[in-house]
């Protein structure tokens, strides 16, 4: 049966995008002061690729019936994996900041890992639905899940993009739990993930360095430790009500990437504890409404897709916020709907459209 889309969910997203527009505009002043030549490309990516095309993508995916995604789930995942591998093709892939994560189309750069995230969610939801009655067996439960994670992880860690893999890992475990997996398998998976991440810290020096800096920021006072320190100064300077819109001091000379993963610190400095709490509350409410949509979804596949999308968006946002508050290691992940990242915003809005389409159908 059909019903109207979930309006509170949509309104929450609109508020986040509009608020993000103003926060991004203010934070951009810091980038303009430091890197005037780069500002135009950043602004174009955010407004055209992110907001304009993202809004169109939301409208389109809202109209596409959710059963389409299940029908083509395997092909969507393969296409997203191939697109992500294209970053290693000379002349097409581009390296920024020591990471090979972007495709260069001349007028704009594009991060295909955003495709891989939603491709993973759609395919994993379809696979879990098909294997629902056999999830308790090793051959149809934890082993295929580990294989899928390994394929996804190999593609992302080669770039390297540990942050995106962490989000996919978190999302995959949440979907596995929602599908009814045994707790024994979940704990085993958690143990394997812990061992794997520990091994990764030794294999990838930058991961180890970020963990050490998280534990002791003074160990890299002029590197990642500097970002944590300046972020905390910005957040503390905002106090209760903030300095006021556009009045951040830290964004001009001190915060690395004020429009990127440091943007929450800019928002906290300008809008204080009240503004910061409001941003966090909006993401929590988005999660609440999303999980409610999942509970009322018409079938198992659609419910798992909603769980996956909601966890993708909310977990990434809280990983970003946690890093700025100094309670999690830095990952470089953007704060969705707010940070610079046209690719991330485009696909986040497309994913929101999928959830809205599912919200139109009642459980039979």
The total of other beta-carbon atoms located within 10 Å of residue 362's CB is 11
Question: At 257, is the secondary structure helix, strand, or coil?
Answer: coil
In terms of average pLDDT, the best of 211-220, 240-249, 348-357 is: 348-357
Mean pLDDT over residues 81-92, rounded? 90
Distance (Å, whole) CA 218 – CA 196: 27
38 pLDDT higher than 70:
no
Every domain of the chain and the residues it spans = 7-359
Query: Which pLDDT score, from 0 to 100, does residue 308 have?
Result: 98
DSSP state of 262: T
254 pLDDT higher than 70:
yes
Among 26-35, 229-238, 243-252, the minimum mean pLDDT is found in 26-35
Could you tell me what percent of the chain has a pLDDT over 70? 91
Among 34-43, 245-254, 308-317, 344-353, the minimum mean pLDDT is found in 34-43
224 pLDDT higher than 70:
no
Q: Which residue is it, tokens 């969610």?
A: 121
Question: What's the mean per-residue pLDDT of the chain?
Answer: 87
Query: Which pLDDT score, from 0 to 100, does residue 255 have?
Result: 85
Q: CB neighbours of 309 closer than 8 A, spacing ≥ 6?
A: 118, 121, 290, 351, 352, 354, 355
Mean pLDDT over residues 173-182, rounded? 90
In terms of average pLDDT, the best of 253-257, 260-264, 305-309 is: 305-309
Categorize the per-residue pLDDT at 1 as very low, low, confident or very high, splitting at 50, 70 and 90: very low
Tell me the H-state helices in the chain. 7-34, 36-44, 53-63, 67-71, 73-85, 113-130, 142-157, 162-178, 183-203, 205-215, 224-238, 250-253, 263-295, 300-324, 342-359
260 pLDDT higher than 80:
yes
Among 32-46, 138-152, 348-362, the minimum mean pLDDT is found in 32-46
| Choice between 180 and 319, residue whose per-residue pLDDT is larger | 319
Whether the predicted model's global pTM rises above the 0.75 cut: yes
98 pLDDT higher than 90:
no
Categorize the per-residue pLDDT at 46 as very low, low, confident or very high, splitting at 50, 70 and 90: confident
Contact 260, 333 (CB under 8 A): no
Mean pLDDT over residues 101-107, rounded? 76
Here the tokens at position 5 are: 């889309």
Among 188-197, 264-273, 286-295, the minimum mean pLDDT is found in 188-197
Query: Which pLDDT score, from 0 to 100, does residue 213 have?
Result: 78
Mean pLDDT over residues 321-330, rounded? 90
33 pLDDT higher than 70:
no
Contact 42, 32 (CB under 8 A): no
162 pLDDT higher than 80:
yes
């Amino acid at each position: 049966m059909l019903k109207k889309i979930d309006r509170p969910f949509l309104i929450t997203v609109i508020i986040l995008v509009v608020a993000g527009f103003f926060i991004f505009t203010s934070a951009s002043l810091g980038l303009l002061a430091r890197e005037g030549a780069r500002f135009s490309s950043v602004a174009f990516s955010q407004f055209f690729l992110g907001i304009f095309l993202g809004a169109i993508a939301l409208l389109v995916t809202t109209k596409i019936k959710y059963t389409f995604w299940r029908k083509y789930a395997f092909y969507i995942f393969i296409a997203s994996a191939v697109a992500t591998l294209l970053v290693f093709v000379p002349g097409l892939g581009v390296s920024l900041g020591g990471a090979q994560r972007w495709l260069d189309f001349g007028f704009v750069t594009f991060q295909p890992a955003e495709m891989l995230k939603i491709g993973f969610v759609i395919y994993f939801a379809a696979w879990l639905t098909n294997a629902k009655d056999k999830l308790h067996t090793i051959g149809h439960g934890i082993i295929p899940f580990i294989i899928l994670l390994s394929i996804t992880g190999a593609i992302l860690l080669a770039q390297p993009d540990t942050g995106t893999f962490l989000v996919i890992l978190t999302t995959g475990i949440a979907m596995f739990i929602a599908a009814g997996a045994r707790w024994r398998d979940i704990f085993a998976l958690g143990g394997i993930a812990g061992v794997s991440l520990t091994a990764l810290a030794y294999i990838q020096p930058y991961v180890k360095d970020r963990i050490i800096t998280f534990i002791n920021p003074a160990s890299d006072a002029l590197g990642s430790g500097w970002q944590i320190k300046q972020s905390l100064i910005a957040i503390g300077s905002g106090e209760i009500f903030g300095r006021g819109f556009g009045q951040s001091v830290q964004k001009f000379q001190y915060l690395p990437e004020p429009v990127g993963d440091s943007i929450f610190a800019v928002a906290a400095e300008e809008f204080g504890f009240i503004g910061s709490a409001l941003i966090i509350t909006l993401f929590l409410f988005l999660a609440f409404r999303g999980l409610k949509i999942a509970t009322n979804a018409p079938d198992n596949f659609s419910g798992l897709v909603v769980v996956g999308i909601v966890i993708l968006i909310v977990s990434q946002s809280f990983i970003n916020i946690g890093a700025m508050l100094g309670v999690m290691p830095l990952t470089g992940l953007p704060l969705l709907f707010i940070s610079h990242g046209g690719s991330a915003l485009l696909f986040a809005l497309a994913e929101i459209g999928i959830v809205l389409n599912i919200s139109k159908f009642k459980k039979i």
